[in-house]
Structure 1
Amino acid sequence: MIRVGLTGGIGAGKSTVAKTFIELGGHHIDADVIAREVVEPGTPGLTRLVAAFGTDILTADGALDRPALAAKAFVDDDSRRTLNSITHPLVGARTQELLDAAPDDAIVIQDIPLLVEANMAPFFHLVVMVHADTEERVRRLTELRGMPEADARARIAAQAGDEQRRAVTDVWLDNSGQPTDLAAASARLWERRLVPYEHHVRTRTAAIPDPELIAAEPSPATVNTRLTNRLWALAGANATAVDATEGAIRITARDRDAAAALAEALPPGGFAPVGEHRYASADPGRPATVEVSVGP
């Protein structure tokens, strides 16, 4: 199994990519859908929101009135933290349930609008960004969704900018053309990179680097940072240091037990064993070698 984080700014066209991946067999997990599910009428989530913010956040039929909740939950940092303390654990638990239910050979597409803003990129095998420039997104939001232009521009401005997105992105899908072009690019990505990547992870085999995929790297300057962050996410407290130089990474394990734990964590995380304490990337678009040493 591999987990693909799919994201993009509002109006960028993320739904076209998600639809293509689903049609090709992707196991889709939509963060927005989950966020609505966990606060439906009769759920513990809605009960806790009412206890925290009052009954006037409900509609006449007992459902959550989202604008009314927003008016209360976003007035200050304390209120926002209260909201997040209720909803985030519920969303996380439901997401984990869906991940646990996915087949061993799944390519899981986790559709998360605020993936960049929430600093979630290191927890995925691959981050796919759907991009369109600001004016095109404003046009789509106003013409296709009927959103007032001022609202569209405000929502775009409130999200991460292009530089922030590029810094954490592994695949950049440009959606300045027709939806059919984006769907075709998504299908090529699926066949050329995601399917082989999942196979290599599941079989614990290193990938043969694909020069075309490597050349499409959207931000070469941040590759080492992304690899380091990914490995820290996999290693956690088992590592005391992770150092990367041009795709060659050294992890210093806390002790021998930690090195053994890393041997279990790295292969499903995208780094296949190729020798004693040595690992290589299972991603054909991201060559890298990892060596684990034991600290003093």
Structure 2
Amino acid sequence: MLRVGLTGGIGSGKSAVAARLVEQGAVLIDADQVAREVVAPGTEGLAEIVAAFSEQVLDSDGALDRAALGAVVFADETARRRLEAITHPRVRARTAELAAAAAPDAIVVNDVPLLVEVGLAPTYHLVVVVQTAVSTRLERLARDRGMDRAEAERRIAAQADDARRRAAADVVLTNDGSLAALHEAVDELWRQRLSPYEHNLRERRVVPPHRVDLAETDPSWPRQYGRLAARIRHALAPADLRIDHIGATAVPGLAAEDVIDVQVAVPNLADADGVLADRLANAGFPRVPGQWWDDPRPAGSGRWEKRLHGSADPARPVRLHVRAADSPGWRYALLMRDHLCADPDQRAAYLLLKRELVDAAPEVSGAGTARDPWFDEEYLRAEQWAAQTGWTP
């Protein structure tokens, strides 16, 4: 199943997005609702809260008085952490139960107000953030919830700001217009990305390559890599493998094919199969069929074997190279990246070569660059640079 994290600040319209996704066929898990369920009257969660904070946190009917509990923990870090130790494991366990009950082909949307604040983004295949101007949110909170401005501003200030949410977002839905416009955006997201992503994930299908074009440098490429790497690290835990951003999108200021290249280092290639390959596929990075090698440097010195994975996400092409740590191919990928970062003349020469090769073979991903003689010459220059500077991977 496809796991989608949905979040947004208070008053952003996140609930409207969640409702529209349900209309499209999503299975919704509401974190606020789950949080109430696990501390409902008669639950072990509520009994443990009373044992920790006394019966003063109960209302006259024996239910949790959230305002009273908030008054106890709001300004007391130790008390807040004690409360979280009671509730968070129960919320996670119940959320996992609800997700496990969904159909194998489901798109499960977790509506989590504090998704960014508690660091849950890497646990989802995709994170959707609903963003709305603060002025609009203040108006909605006053109109729809009767909240006075001071309280609304306090609630907004207590959550992550827009910049922090955007950094965690794979998709940003702007909700400053009409409800109809929001629905249109959600419907397009469902058709163009979520539904095909779920199908690709279930079938372990890599998004096929498209026509090769060099995009102007995108300052968001490193942030996109960061989100991908966090998902990969989460999927492979408890293994603590080195993960690197490599390739042209890892070189600041360089125009490149809009594909994020990621390198995962394993102790040996036997470790790249079996459980590791399954975990990557389940996280949205299926194995690309066939056998894969890197062209060695210098040419003719044998083949450098690797494993290659791609992306099931139709909107984010990825080449995930699994190589043995300290192998020639692993080292070369890092050396090439770092030398191009350090040498503007070689960046310019590389870009010129890429443009020529893309013009010559626009339908071929990679455009045959690996076999061009320039790369052997660049390898020698890079090795000289490494020796002069003391570079190590």
TM-score norm. by structure 2 comes to: 0.71
Alignment deviations for residues 176-232 of structure 1 (CA, whole Å, 9 cap, x no partner) = 001111011101100110000000000011114689xx99x9944511111111111
- Number of the residue aligned with 2:353: none
- What are the equivalent positions in structure 2 for 1:212-231 lying under 5 Å apart? 219-231=220-232
**How many Å separate the matches in 2 of 1:257 and 1:239?**
17
- Aligned twin of 2:321: 291
Q: Distance in 2 between matches of 1:127 and 1:219?
A: 16
Instruction: Supply the distance in 1 between the matched residues of 2:271 and 2:14 (Cα, whole angstroms).
Output: 39
Q: Deviations over 1:134-166 (max 9, x none)?
A: 000000001121001000011111111111111
Q: Counterparts of 1:204-219 in structure 2 under 5 Å?
A: 204-208=204-208, 219=220
* 1:169/1:218 contact within 8 Å kept: no
Q: How is 1:109-128 mapped onto 2 (pairs within 5 angstroms)?
A: 109-128=109-128
Aligned to 2:374: none
Cα shift at 1:44: 0.2
* Contact kept in structure 1, 2:277 and 2:286, CA below 8 Å: no
Task: From the superposition, tell whether residues 206 and 84 of structure 1 become closer, same or farther in structure 2 (CA, over 3 Å).
Answer: same
Following superposition of structure 1 onto structure 2, how do residues 170-249 of structure 1 map, counting pairs within 5 Å?
170-208=170-208, 219-245=220-246, 246=249, 247-249=260-262
Aligned positions, number: 293
The equivalent residue for 1:44 is 44
How much is the aligned-residue C-alpha RMSD, in angstroms?
A: 2.0
8 Å CA contact retained: 2:126, 2:170: yes
**3-state SS of 1:238 partner:** coil
Name the aligned partner's letter for residue 283 of structure 2: G
- C-alpha distance in 2 between matches for 1:291 and 1:132: 38
CA contact (8 A) 1:238 1:254 kept: no
**Once the two structures are aligned, what percentage of the paired residues are identical?**
46
Indicate the residue corresponding to 1:250 in structure 2: 263
Long gaps (5+) in structure 1: none
Decide whether aligned partners of structure 1 residues 14 and 132 sit closer, same or farther in structure 2, where only a CA change above 3 A counts.
same
Which stretch shifts more, 286-295 or 81-90? Answer: 286-295
Read off the aligned partner of 1:244 and give its amino acid letter. Answer: H
Q: Is the aligned partner of 1:264 residue 2:278? A: yes
Shift of the 200–152 alpha-carbon distance from structure 1 to 2, 3 Å rule, reads: same
- Is the Cα–Cα contact under 8 Å of residues 26 and 109 in structure 2 kept in the other structure? yes
Counterpart in the other structure of 1:30:
30
Give the Cα separation in 2 of the matches to 1:200 and 1:103. 16
Letter in 1 for 2:229: T
Greater C-alpha Rg = 2
Q: Is the 8 A contact 1:6 1:129 kept in 2?
A: yes
Does structure 1 residue 273 correspond to structure 2 residue 287? Answer: yes
| Structure 2 letter corresponding to 1:73 | V
List runs of 5+ in structure 2 lacking aligned partners.
Answer: 250-259, 292-306, 327-393
Per-residue CA deviations over 1:207-263 (Å, capped at 9, x if unaligned) read: 14689xx99x99445111111111111112334201123311111124556423211
Instruction: After superposition, give the CA deviation of every residue in 1:60-106 in whole Å (9 maximum; x if it has no partner).
Output: 11100111111112231111111000000000110110111111101
Code of the aligned partner of 2:245: A
Distance in 2 (CA, whole Å) between partners of 1:240 and 1:274 is 20
| Partner amino acid, structure 2, of 1:281 | S
- State how far apart, in whole Å, the 1-side matches of 2:103 and 2:169 are: 26
